[in-house]
Amino acid sequence: MTNPDERIVLVTGGAGFIGSNYLNYAVREHPTYKFVNVDALTYAADPGNLEVSDARNYAFEQADIRDKTSLTALFEKHRPTHVIHFAAESHVDASIKSPDIFIETNVLGTHNLLVLAKGSGVKRFHHISTDEVYGSLGKEDVPVKESAPILPNSPYSASKASSDLLVRAYQRTFGLDTVISRSSNAYGPRQYEEKIIPLFLKNLLTGKKVPLYGDGANMREWLYVDDLVKGIDLTFHAGHAGEIYNLGASVSLSNLELTKKILGRLGLDESRIERVPDRSGHDFRYAIDSSKAKQELGWEPVITIEEGLTRTIDYYRKKFGA
């Protein structure tokens, strides 16, 4: 790794949910680094998410990772020494309706970045992935470790699994220093209102019902975004080259249990739930084992679901004036 004073960290997708929360943390935490935020500013991105826009060690460039020509110019302009790659299409429902953009962004866009990172001597390439690449678990299955096979079931998770494999190939074949982090469902402030928690809060705070798929039995782990970004930062700095790190939550809830928690926090009852037909190929459960991150990085989540939901609800109350 280079001298920290010389690090120029290119961060893709830094105006999105996780990327912006990461930059708001890391730009302040590492004042000797220069962070270059590259974002296409698609529908789920918002420059207003960034609280560090005026920081001396922060710069923004609008560009699409599918556009190799623009990326090449940015690599030549900023000469990044490190890359943290958040940028991705990530909404499963959208991937079922329109898979093409997920392949173009998540697979081809990632490959563009890998080619340029390899060609420009980048010291570390940190790829942000998801627990969805492991596929669906049964209710009694144990949480999966990083060595588990990847068995994606949606176009979204398949595109992320494909990008993971490209990252692995560039490490094994070309010697590019890479790390991959795979996380549970993240939630918290600044998340676009297509994901379940902000969507449900938006609907409930504006007098609407919430659309709950099927019987609501599908299970997810919930990781507050502040815990996640600290795990990402530790993986970036201390993860071993070529390794994968699961960043999982300690809280697992069915979608119905989560919905009831949100309703209870808002003083509402189950009459605000609207049952809707289940989506195609809906994975039943995700659960990942984070013992490797705890042992090697010293990371584990500290924010409880109660505290995290309180912070998240406060944010969306202010956003929607409720």
pLDDT in tens, 205-231: 999 999 999 999 999 999 999 999 999
Question: How many Cα atoms occupy the beta-carbon half-sphere of 279 within 13 Å?
Answer: 17
- Which carries the bigger pLDDT value, residue 39 or residue 93? 39
Q: Please name which of 216, 231, 129 lies closest in space to residue 180, comparing C-alpha atoms.
A: 129
The predicted pLDDT at position 87 comes to: 96
Mean pLDDT of 265-274: 95
131 as an active site residue: the answer is yes
Q: Which residue reads 């996380």 in tokens?
A: 183
pLDDT at 84 over 90: yes
E strands in 217-294: 219-224, 244-247, 252-254, 273-276
Q: CB of 62 within 8 A of CB of 107? A: no
* Share above pLDDT 70 across residues of the chain, in percent, rounded to a whole number: 98
DSSP string for residues in 149-190: PP---SHHHHHHHHHHHHHHHHHHHH---EEEEEE-EEESTT
Which tokens go with 169?
């190939």
> What's the confidence (pLDDT) of residue 2?
44
Q: Rounded to whole angstroms, how far apart are CA atoms 125 and 32?
A: 19
User: pLDDT digit string (tens) for 30-47?
Assistant: 999 999 999 999 999 999
pTM of the model: 0.95
* Alpha-carbon gap, residue 114 to 110, rounded angstroms: 6
- Of the residues 89, 131, 226, 233, only one is catalytic, namely 131
Please give the average per-residue pLDDT across 225-253, as a whole number.
96
Q: Give the residue from 221, 201, 218 showing the smallest Cα distance to 210.
A: 201
Question: Taking a C-beta distance cutoff of 8 angstroms, is the pair 18, 228 a contact?
Answer: yes
| Secondary structure element (H or E) that encloses residue 88, with its range | none
Q: Which of 211, 246, 240, 205 is nearest to 228 (CA)?
A: 246
pLDDT band at 1 (very low <50, low <70, confident <90, very high): very low
CATH for 4-186+224-249+287-301, options being 1.10.150.20, 2.130.10.10, 3.40.50.720, 1.10.3720.10: 3.40.50.720
pLDDT tens column, 185-203:
999 999 999 899 999 999 9
Residue 74 has pLDDT above 80, yes or no: yes
Looking at residue 125, what is its pLDDT?
98
Q: Return contacts of 258-264, CB within 8 angstroms, 24+ apart.
A: 258/196, 258/197, 258/220, 258/222, 259/200, 259/210, 259/212, 259/216, 261/305, 261/309, 262/197, 262/200, 262/201, 262/204, 262/210, 262/309, 262/313, 263/204
d(CA 50, CA 198): 18
Q: What's the confidence (pLDDT) of residue 293? A: 98
Q: Which of 22, 156, 187, 245 is catalytic?
A: 156
Measured distance CA(192)–CA(196) in Å, rounded:
10
Q: Are 198 and 191 in contact (CB under 8 A)?
A: yes
Annotated active-site residue in 89, 132, 164, 283: 132
**Does residue 242 surpass a pLDDT of 70?**
yes
Indicate the helix (H) or strand (E) that contains 278.
Answer: none
Structure confidence at residue 4 as a pLDDT band (50, 70, 90) = low
pLDDT in tens, 6-22: 799 999 999 999 999 99
Per-residue pLDDT, 85: 98
Q: How far apart are CA 226 and CA 20, in angstroms?
A: 11
Is the pLDDT score of 3 beyond 70?
no
Q: pLDDT for 95-122, tens place per residue?
A: 888 999 999 999 999 999 999 999 999 9
Q: What is the mean pLDDT of residues 219-248?
A: 97
Question: Would you say how long the chain is, in residues?
Answer: 322
Q: How far is CA 307 from its chain centroid?
A: 20
The answer to whether 90 and 186 have CB atoms below 8 angstroms apart is no
Cβ(308)–Cβ(187) under 8 Å?
yes
Nearest-angstrom CA–CA distance, 34 and 37: 10
3-class DSSP state of 67: coil
Residue 245: its pLDDT value, please? Answer: 98
Kindly tell me if the per-residue pLDDT of 272 is higher than 70.
Answer: yes
Q: Residue 322: which pLDDT band, with cuts at 50, 70 and 90?
A: low
